[in-house]
């Protein structure tokens, strides 16, 4: 029985267990509909009062890994896979650029731009429909971490210095808006400040339309760190070679061969990538 049981979120907040949330999380990542009730039954069997949500996710992933659709495990672990892009934030910046490119932006990473007072290294410069955006990527590798208002204030200060430094230049050379992108969540103060100054704030489950999870899942843009057919070391080597997204393995087929993968291993990895990129409920 799950009635009356509570779960503990990564932030430490306790809330009632919700079967509907489990079902939504399954449907969101397009796990086969035939597995939905089986997953829910498995979760019910593992529940106890005060169970951490991370443990629930672990049980779901373990069940999916031994199910009739084992590659579903890869898609369900998206948030953790993004955290495994670290420990540095550099691969995350490359990854965000790739996600934006899929959605029609032209991007460059690690751009040096002169402000009025100092030079700034901009994580990602993105352009689309006449807009030129200064994007700061804030990477976290611990569940429950949040980007707070101090981060938003820092991004706005950099943007204002760049604005002053670009006075007299053409509109095409100026930044039209600052963005703050994170792989976790924001504090309410950070969101309020971003809305107040006109900063586009993108994170996990924020904003309501165009949040990071949706941008990734809508285009099947999963990072290579989600692949169960790769070891952690192999995924890190791909990241070092600027292969950050599963889809790149299909478009840059020489990457695995250059790493010494025999054909049988290459076929296994590509089969998982194809499953992630094409799976329907």
Same domain, 122 and 137: yes
Range of lowest pLDDT (14-23, 164-173, 217-226): 164-173
Same domain, 204 and 104: yes
**CA neighbor of 225 nearest in space, from 217, 233, 215:** 233
Tracing tokens 């199910």 back to the chain, one arrives at 67
Please state the rounded mean pLDDT for residues 86-115: 96
Query: Is 55 within the bounds of a domain?
Result: yes
Query: Is 83 within the bounds of a domain?
Result: no
Give this prediction's pTM: 0.89
Same domain, 101 and 207: yes
**57-76, pLDDT tens digit by residue?**
999 999 998 888 888 888 88
Tracing tokens 């597995």 back to the chain, one arrives at 35
Query: Is 115 within the bounds of a domain?
Result: yes
Tracing tokens 């529940």 back to the chain, one arrives at 47
SS (HEC) of the chain:
CCCCCEEECCCCCEEECCHHHHHHHHHHCCCCHHHHHHHHHHHHHHCCCCEEHHHHHHHHHHHHHCCCCCCHHHHHCHHHHHHCCCCCCHHHHHHHHHHHHHCCCEEEEEEEEECCCCEEEEEEEEEECCEEEEEEEECCCCCCCEECHHHHHHHHHHHHHHHHHCCCCCCCCCCCEEEEEECCEECHHHHHHHHHHCCEEEECCECCCCCHHHHHHHHCCCEHHHCCCCCHHHHHHHHHCCCCEHHHHHHCCHHHHHCCCCHHHHHHHHHHHHHHHHCCC
Query: Is 238 within the bounds of a domain?
Result: yes
Question: What residues contact 152, with CB distance under 8 A and at least 6 apart?
Answer: 180, 186, 190, 193, 194, 199, 201
Query: Is 84 within the bounds of a domain?
Result: no
Number of independent structural domains in the chain: 3
Q: Which of 76, 104, 125 is the last residue of a domain?
A: 76
Instruction: Tell me the residue range of the domain where 31 lies.
Output: 6-76
Q: How big is the chain by its Cα radius of gyration, in Å?
A: 20
**42-53, pLDDT tens digit by residue?**
999 999 999 999
Query: Is 247 within the bounds of a domain?
Result: yes
Confidence of residue 2 (pLDDT cuts 50, 70, 90): low
Same domain, 136 and 210: yes
Contact 272, 71 (CB under 8 A): yes
Q: Is the dihedral of CA 75, 78, 80, 84 positive or negative?
A: positive
Same domain, 207 and 231: no
Range of lowest pLDDT (55-69, 120-134, 236-250): 55-69
More confident residue, 179 or 172: 179
Question: What residues contact 45, with CB distance under 8 A and at least 6 apart?
Answer: none
Tracing tokens 């106890």 back to the chain, one arrives at 48
Same domain, 133 and 247: no
Same domain, 41 and 160: no
Mean pLDDT of the chain: 93
Same domain, 102 and 204: yes
Residue 281 has pLDDT above 60, yes or no: no
Same domain, 118 and 194: yes
Query: Is 82 within the bounds of a domain?
Result: no
Q: Which of 166, 184, 218 is the last residue of a domain?
A: 218
**246-279, pLDDT tens digit by residue?**
999 999 989 999 999 999 999 999 999 998 888 5
**What CATH number should be reported for the domain holding residue 165?**
3.40.1350.10
Query: Is 207 within the bounds of a domain?
Result: yes
Contact 190, 148 (CB under 8 A): yes
Report the alpha-carbon distance of residue 239 to residue 87 in Å, rounded.
Answer: 12
Same domain, 38 and 152: no
Same domain, 33 and 62: yes
**CA neighbor of 30 nearest in space, from 98, 62, 78, 63:** 78
Report the alpha-carbon distance of residue 238 to residue 257 in Å, rounded.
Answer: 12
**CA neighbor of 112 nearest in space, from 123, 126, 97, 100:** 123
Same domain, 205 and 244: no
Residue 280 has pLDDT above 70, yes or no: no
**CA neighbor of 137 nearest in space, from 128, 147, 129:** 147
């Amino acid at each position: 029985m799950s009635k009356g049981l509570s779960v503990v979120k990564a932030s430490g907040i306790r809330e009632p267990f919700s079967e509907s949330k489990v079902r939504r999380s399954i449907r969101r990542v397009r796990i086969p509909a035939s597995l939905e009730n089986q997953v829910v039954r498995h979760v019910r069997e593992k529940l106890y009062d005060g169970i951490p949500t991370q443990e629930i996710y672990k049980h779901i992933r373990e069940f999916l890994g031994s199910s009739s659709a084992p590659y579903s495990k890869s898609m369900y672990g998206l948030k953790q896979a993004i955290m495994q892009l670290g420990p540095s934030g550099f691969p995350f910046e490359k990854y965000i650029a790739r996600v934006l490119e899929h959605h029609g932006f032209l991007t460059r990473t690690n751009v040096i731009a002169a402000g009025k007072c100092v030079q700034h290294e901009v994580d990602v410069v993105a352009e689309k429909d006449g807009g030129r955006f200064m994007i700061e990527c804030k990477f976290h590798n611990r569940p429950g971490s949040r980007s707070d208002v101090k981060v938003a204030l820092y991004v706005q200060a950099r943007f204002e210095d760049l604005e002053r430094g670009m006075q007299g230049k053409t509109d095409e050379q100026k930044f039209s808006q600052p963005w703050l992108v994170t792989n976790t969540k924001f504090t309410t103060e950070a969101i309020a400040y971003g809305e107040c100054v006109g900063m586009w704030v993108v994170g996990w489950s924020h904003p309501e339309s165009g949040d990071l999870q949706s941008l990734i899942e809508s285009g099947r843009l999963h990072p290579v760190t989600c692949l169960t057919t790769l070891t952690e070391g192999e995924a890190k080597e791909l990241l070092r070679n600027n292969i950050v997204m599963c889809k790149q393995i299909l478009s840059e087929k020489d990457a695995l061969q250059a790493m010494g993968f025999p054909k049988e291993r290459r076929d296994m990895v590509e089969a998982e990538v194809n499953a992630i990129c094409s799976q329907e409920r």
